[in-house]
Chain A
Amino acid sequence: MRTYFDRVHTWGRISCVTTICVLFLVPVLFCIHYNAWPPLDGVLKGLAAVVPLYWATAVAEVISYAPLLGAGGSYLSFVTGNIANLKLPCAISAMDSAKVRPNTEEGEVVTTISIAASSLTTTVIIALGVLLFRPILPKLTAEGSVFAPAFQQIIPALFGAIGASYFIKQPKLSIVPILAGVLVMIFAPTMQIGVLIVITIVVSIGSAYFFYKKNWV
């Protein structure tokens, strides 16, 4: 008997392959339509600059986010992107208010619904934003606009709100990774956030395991 998870993986695999095809259709159709095939060495040089970091980050992201996002949630999130700043917080928030645990079938259903709703919202808002607000938006986010500080502070506002419930429930687990992150920032101020996330997650899981073994949590 195929479980719900088995079916999700089948749909997910099909959707990954179709997404790859759709994504490659964009440059292929453009090149055919405008007869503008790019110089190969230009593309290769550009790729050399971004691929090593991106592909390494991709491996780290799949390993660290996938268990948190659930199966359906992972397939959807990795297609629509903006995982760390949008899909993951959204899924955490949804599991929190629905009172379900990750890695259960209920958790799987709730994260999938949450990430699907989030993807739909984001896609629609980006489309509307592009089509309707194009003339206004640069003014909103431009330096010196009244609203600019709100957009610049979106990260502390977002992660303060998500973090709060964890800090209350798990104060002991929270201190070590935050301190580790701050220390890393002090000594390696230019570190990419993608690398920092991997460090804090490893430190956090390591220290939590230690606390667990010592019966402190």
Chain B
Amino acid sequence: MNFKESPFMYGLAAMVIVFVLAQSIFFLVKAWKQGKKLGISAQTMRGTVTNSILFSIAPAISVVATVIVLANALGIILPWIRLSVIGNITYETTAAEAALNVFGSSIAEPVQDPKQFSSIMWVMTIGCIFPLILLPFFLKKIQKKIGHAAQTNAKLADVISAAAFIGLIAAFIARAIAGVGTKENPTDGAGVLSVLTLIFAILLMIVLTKLCDRFKLKWLENFTMPFSMLGAMGMAILLTQWLPAAWLIEWRY
């Protein structure tokens, strides 16, 4: 009997998934009602939903890929549960690896012992749970401070919140420009391909935004960001097909 993918494990996954879905639906309905009260048009809110769904598809598929990678060692159910709740690609992989190292094993090989498996479950769960303990105590305070600052000085608040977004984006852009990959993998560090993908995504976004403004394409406004992202990913495929040797040059590994 394979304990990692038993019907019992599927039952555990179903419990977690149903819980997460119910919670999201609850907040969605409450926010929608409040939006109506505030006079936000149904069109805008529907647009937000469509935009967010489209936006999430590609990253979600990459999460599925991680689940599959971890499935080799842990079976498919535990990575599925872990990446559906709080899950984050780097955390979960590191946590599983750390727990397995204690037993002199690694995620490169399948776990056979139920006790090792339950140790991994506990390490992953306790490791990731801290934000949920912090939020109930501190979120309201953090938000109140920000809200108060926003009211007293709107211009500065706008500049600071734009700066916070830019700061976050800058970290990932910096890694695409100068991040370090591994020697074994030819495409995980910064190089010709990552920089071209980055530039192409930026250009595509600028062009699509201009098109929307020029021709008043309301419907396209919700799609500019996902289209730019998928377009740039498509270009990465074309480039590697067209001139593999040149495009796979990485300056840092």
Q: How far apart sit A88 and B91, CA to CA, in the bound complex (Å)?
A: 17
Q: Which residues of A contact B106 (CB under 8 A)?
A: none
Q: Which of A81, A82, A166 has a CB less than 8 Å from the CB of B166? A: A166
Q: Which residues of A contact B225 (CB under 8 A)?
A: 89, 93, 96-97, 161-162
User: From B252, which residue of chain A is reached at the shortest CB distance?
Assistant: A189
Q: Does B110 contact A (CB under 8 A)?
A: no
Minimum CB–CB distance for B64 against chain A, Å: 3
Question: Which residues from 237 to 251 on chain B have a C-beta closer than 8 Å to any C-beta of chain A?
Answer: 237, 239-241
Q: Which residues of A contact B98 (CB under 8 A)?
A: 46, 49-50
Q: Place the interface of chain B in its size category.
A: 35 or more
Q: Which residues of A contact B241 (CB under 8 A)?
A: 146
Question: Which residues from 1 to 58 on chain A have a C-beta closer than 8 Å to any C-beta of chain B?
Answer: 4-5, 7-9, 11-13, 15-20, 22-27, 29-31, 33-34, 36-39, 42-43, 45-47, 49-51, 54-55, 58
Q: How far apart sit A55 and B91, CA to CA, in the bound complex (Å)?
A: 11
A66 & B56 in contact (Cβ 8 Å cutoff): no
A72 & B19 in contact (Cβ 8 Å cutoff): no
Question: Which residues from 49 to 80 on chain A have a C-beta closer than 8 Å to any C-beta of chain B?
Answer: 49-51, 54-55, 58-59, 61-64, 66-68, 70-72, 74-76, 78-80
Question: Which residues from 176 to 193 on chain B have a C-beta closer than 8 Å to any C-beta of chain A?
Answer: 176-180, 185, 187-188, 190, 193
Q: Which residues of B contact A92 (CB under 8 A)?
A: 165
A159 & B157 in contact (Cβ 8 Å cutoff): no
A22 & B52 in contact (Cβ 8 Å cutoff): no
Chain B 51-67 near chain A by CB (<8 Å), digits 1 or 0: 11101111111111101
Chain B 30-65 near chain A by CB (<8 Å), digits 1 or 0: 111011001010001101110111011111111111
A164 & B205 in contact (Cβ 8 Å cutoff): yes
Interface of A is mostly: helix
A164 & B12 in contact (Cβ 8 Å cutoff): no
Q: Which of B136, B164, B230 has a CB less than 8 Å from the CB of A205? A: B164
Q: Which residues of A contact B204 (CB under 8 A)?
A: 161
Beyond A120-B28, A129-B61, A166-B169, whether A205 also contacts B135 by CB under 8 A is: no
Q: Which residues of B contact A34 (CB under 8 A)?
A: 3, 114, 118
Q: How far apart sit A22 and B122, CA to CA, in the bound complex (Å)?
A: 13
Q: Which residues of B contact A148 (CB under 8 A)?
A: 187
A and B contact pairs by CB, cutoff 8 A, 9 listed: A30-B8, A43-B119, A68-B164, A82-B89, A122-B59, A149-B237, A169-B162, A181-B173, A209-B159
